Amino acid sequence: MRIDLNCDMGESFGVYRIGEDDKIIPYITSANIACGYHAGDPMVMATTVVLARQHRVAVGAHPGYPDLMGYGRRSLETFPGEIKNYLLYQIGALGAVAKSVGVSLQHVKPHGALYNLSADDERAASELIEAIKGYDPELILVTLAGSRCAQMAIDAGLRVAREAFPDRAYLQGGRLAPRTLPGAVIHDRDTVRERAMELAARGKISTLDGNEITLEVDTLCIHGDTPGAWELAAAVREALETAGIQVLAMGQSGHGEG
Amino acid sequence: MRIDLNCDMGESFGVYRIGEDDKIIPYITSANIACGYHAGDPMVMATTVVLARQHRVAVGAHPGYPDLMGYGRRSLETFPGEIKNYLLYQIGALGAVAKSVGVSLQHVKPHGALYNLSADDERAASELIEAIKGYDPELILVTLAGSRCAQMAIDAGLRVAREAFPDRAYLQGGRLAPRTLPGAVIHDRDTVRERAMELAARGKISTLDGNEITLEVDTLCIHGDTPGAWELAAAVREALETAGIQVLAMGQSGHGEG
Amino acid sequence: MRIDLNCDMGESFGVYRIGEDDKIIPYITSANIACGYHAGDPMVMATTVVLARQHRVAVGAHPGYPDLMGYGRRSLETFPGEIKNYLLYQIGALGAVAKSVGVSLQHVKPHGALYNLSADDERAASELIEAIKGYDPELILVTLAGSRCAQMAIDAGLRVAREAFPDRAYLQGGRLAPRTLPGAVIHDRDTVRERAMELAARGKISTLDGNEITLEVDTLCIHGDTPGAWELAAAVREALETAGIQVLAMGQSGHGEG
Amino acid sequence: MRIDLNCDMGESFGVYRIGEDDKIIPYITSANIACGYHAGDPMVMATTVVLARQHRVAVGAHPGYPDLMGYGRRSLETFPGEIKNYLLYQIGALGAVAKSVGVSLQHVKPHGALYNLSADDERAASELIEAIKGYDPELILVTLAGSRCAQMAIDAGLRVAREAFPDRAYLQGGRLAPRTLPGAVIHDRDTVRERAMELAARGKISTLDGNEITLEVDTLCIHGDTPGAWELAAAVREALETAGIQVLAMGQSGHGEG
């Protein structure tokens, strides 16, 4: 049994700092690096790739909408081709910065509102898949476990890492409970750690209404933008390793094979 | 004898249109494509690369300062590493968009104030050279013929295309006359065509004070942002070919070999 | 009988030019000036206000979403308060530029996707109304004739100018036909001129399905971003004046009184 | 004897937080609020004005270059009129947001590289003065004590608040020591407090080379972007009040009269 731990990184911009990337990176295996549209800038990207390299953490692109003011969390209408080319632009930009310090990209994980949209919207998912195939068909697509996008990407021959969120409540169908629902975000550290274990070891997660669903997952998302997030990451990792689960980057682990 | 004709392209942004790319492209051999910082956006970039491909015109990155409002023409102070990473970001972004439609980059030509600065400023030139080496050391650097940057890039082992401007007046040392000097920009079409010939056939150009200087050049810049620019491009190309000079993309022509 | 003719202006940005403002301005009575979010920049704003002043054309703010790449035409999710503060920001910015050249604002007309949303969405309309009341309750709000927003603004005590579009097809309820419907945009100049006359003289307009509806209007929108738009503006104005309809800025005309 | 204490505020942007505005505001009398070009956004501006109002702290505009990535700290070439219109745009934007919550602007203080440039560059200072006169000639201009700009503004009939920096080292002529000089920034809290006292009580300050110069000042700048900055603000304020110096907003204090 093995699992990847991914975390969003490099979301600072100019003088603005977000996240404690240097504290959390020892505990994760894959870093999703912002690409300058919703967060990040070329200097932050370079610094973050080097940080990941130092910790032997695999690097992926974390592209989003061109909406720095809204941090890529707001829905933005797009016309055909825009998502594809926004993604190519950002993946290529990070790929170049990474290549200049000797690092290759492992994966692509869309950010925020684009993550949510592409999970289920076929047009968005198609453009995401086309972007990855157009740039480098070996890159792993990280998307919501059980989503339409996951199936479409597998059908298209892409490597896919199915992602779950131990700190988010789930609904019956395997969808994330909307943040507006009470209990949608789980703050208790022990609970999060236990849910991470459930997901990694048993491929099961309990839903908001008390049932249990099956969810095959390749990677768990660790949120890094709360103070003390690194302690949670450390706790999750320790629990996983203590239980004999290998914590490995998705590209190394044999996961992500579609 | 051979020469490349390059033109800045893809400088539209969103609904904003600049240049008559589709009219001028039949007459040039290399297209410098804006990369979203001073001009251009992912959709425009994709469209422009496809246009170049259709006309078998080689494609290069035309990165600039992050200053859309000033079109990259204004000096902007930068701190160490910023130029390098701004360039990597933009070159990579275009490279990805191009790759997705089956096109490889041939060259990099900095835009506007960054072009001017990097021609002679050693720190800027170094970062430009590092960016290209970090991304793809086979890319050709387009820089001002006779500049410090040209020599530095050759010393660093890069392929270099030395550029001249038939529609700009030159000073004694081989520098461009500042635009504020009377006569700095040459508008007469016949004169521009003759100067293009002088440069391509004889490697000579007359200066503003009436002397003649030697200027070894690999590529001539055709400005595309004036109405009717394509007619000038057509005239220049016809004159060159009539005189038996091969008009070939810098990457094909054996130029750009440093 | 009287009517205002309004046109979007000042939508250039940096070196990018859109519209033939100087050609169309002699024929209109109110200029809606972009405020730097979806189009326009401080220099363009200053130039456009001066142009309007020279032609004794009244000036209004034309604020939009912060989406230059999408020209404010794309829907963007907003959180409570964002529309209000985006509008205040832009109206104030234009108000200051205008004041510095001795011009006061007459009206506010939201742009693009924000115009469409605010016409019928109560939260957006409320924030629009609050923004105007918070900045200057004497400003006239320009909104779609017959819209929910028009009624809400009147109820809130604002001056309202009800707007119609002679070059757009209407549906039964008085809504604009979506641009995706065949015939939604009317290109024939004579037809547009006749529809302008119908609207101004009779307060009637025929719908896409061949009926006629009543539409009380205070101002007609003249689109300025197509080549030759000024000729249409001239034709509409001449037809109106020939028919004895006064063409006056909404603030002068006794319209806009709610 | 009286003095104003000013602090830069509202420099957050979107989800990005900078400064501890709510902790420092009880100790200052004038808040310089960023206007969306180098920092700040409409929501942050609204929140910050309300915060200032709650604490009865006077509000001023803190406009900068359009360079969010560089936080307005980098020199940017501008063409004639650009500084003036950039300033009008930003001052008006903040003025509108403030007006909507019942607050009037007291002053304008340019930010970062624009502050430094306008202190001594006559063209920049002229455009700054014109912007204020064009928007509201009653606004107080905050500029470096002893600068060319201070004199020009007084000559132009503007109200001026001469500013000094207790945590920055001075050179003989009254200029700030460049940050690159050792000792240019003073970190020791007791030293800063003493220098604030020297400036407020005696109009004197010791220079980097050990001399003492006279510097008439109306307002002291408290830097807010370091952790614990509010403790320094509290210490400075207490020392001033203990010494019988009135700490009053520049607009109330009879300062700023030119």
In a domain, B255, yes or no: no
Checking if the pLDDT of A258 tops 80, the result is no
Q: Report the CATH number at residue D55.
A: 3.20.20.370
CB contact under 8 A, D13 and A41: no
Q: Return the structure tokens found at A225.
A: 């933008």
CB contact under 8 A, B92 and A95: yes
Please list every residue in chain A whose beta carbon sits closer than 8 Å to the beta carbon of residue C78: 74
| Residue D128 · residue D87 · CB < 8 Å | yes
Residues of B (42-81) whose Cβ lies below 8 Å from C: 68-71
Identify the band that residue C258 occupies on the pLDDT scale cut at 50, 70 and 90.
very low
Note the pLDDT of residue A121.
98
Q: Is C201 left (phi over 0), alpha (psi -120 to 50) or beta?
A: alpha
Please list every residue in chain A whose beta carbon sits closer than 8 Å to the beta carbon of residue B101: 134
Give how far the C-alpha of residue B196 lies from the chain's centroid of Cα atoms, to the nearest Å.
15
Please list every residue in chain C whose beta carbon sits closer than 8 Å to the beta carbon of residue A69: 66
Which of these, C131, C150, C133, C134, lies nearest to C142 by C-alpha position? C150
In a domain, D258, yes or no: no
Task: For residue range A71-109, list pLDDT tens digits in order.
Answer: 999 999 999 999 999 999 999 999 999 999 999 999 999
In a domain, D97, yes or no: yes
Interface test with D, best of A15, A41, A223 (most D CBs within 10 A): A15
Residues of chain B with pLDDT under 70: 253-258
CB contact under 8 A, A100 and B135: yes
Note the pLDDT of residue D256.
47
CB contact under 8 A, B113 and D77: yes
Average pLDDT, chain C: 95
Note the pLDDT of residue A253.
56
CB atoms within 10 A of CB B184: 16
Checking if the pLDDT of C194 tops 70, the result is yes
In a domain, D257, yes or no: no
Identify the band that residue C254 occupies on the pLDDT scale cut at 50, 70 and 90.
low
Q: Alpha carbon of D27 to those of A139, B29, C55, D236: distances in Å?
A: 54, 65, 51, 9
Task: For residue range A194-228, list pLDDT tens digits in order.
Answer: 999 999 999 999 999 999 999 999 999 998 877 88
In a domain, B257, yes or no: no
Task: Report the gap between the CA of A216 and the closest CA in chain B (Å).
Answer: 31
Q: Alpha carbon of B205 to those of B196, B214, D143: distances in Å?
A: 9, 7, 50
CB contact under 8 A, C18 and B18: no
Residues of C (160-199) whose Cβ lies below 8 Å from A: none
Judging by beta carbons within 10 Å of its beta carbon (0-12, 13-18, 19+), is residue A22 exposed, middle or buried? middle
Domain that includes residue A21, residue range: 2-247
Nearest to D74 among B69, B77, B113 (CB): B77
CB atoms within 10 A of CB B182: 8
Please list every residue in chain D whose beta carbon sits closer than 8 Å to the beta carbon of residue B81: none
Please list every residue in chain C whose beta carbon sits closer than 8 Å to the beta carbon of residue D82: 42-43
Task: Report the gap between the CA of C217 and the closest CA in chain D (Å).
Answer: 29
Q: What is the ipTM of this complex?
A: 0.96
Task: Report the gap between the CA of C42 and the closest CA in chain D (Å).
Answer: 5
CB proximity list for A51: less than 8 A, separation 6 or greater: A9, A21, A22, A25
| Residue B8 · residue B111 · CB < 8 Å | yes
In a domain, A256, yes or no: no
Please list every residue in chain A whose beta carbon sits closer than 8 Å to the beta carbon of residue B134: 96, 99-101
In a domain, C183, yes or no: yes
Number of domains comprising chain B? 1
Give yes or no for B96 touching A (CB within 8 A).
yes
In a domain, D152, yes or no: yes
Please list every residue in chain A whose beta carbon sits closer than 8 Å to the beta carbon of residue D18: 15-16
258 residues of chain D, pLDDT tens digit each: 899 999 999 999 999 999 999 999 999 999 999 999 999 999 999 999 999 999 999 999 999 999 999 999 999 999 999 999 999 999 999 999 999 999 999 999 999 999 999 999 999 999 999 999 999 999 999 999 999 999 999 999 999 999 999 999 999 888 899 888 999 999 899 999 999 999 999 999 999 999 999 999 999 999 887 788 899 999 999 999 999 999 999 998 554 444
- What's the whole-model pTM score? 0.96
Task: Report the gap between the CA of A113 and the closest CA in chain C (Å).
Answer: 10
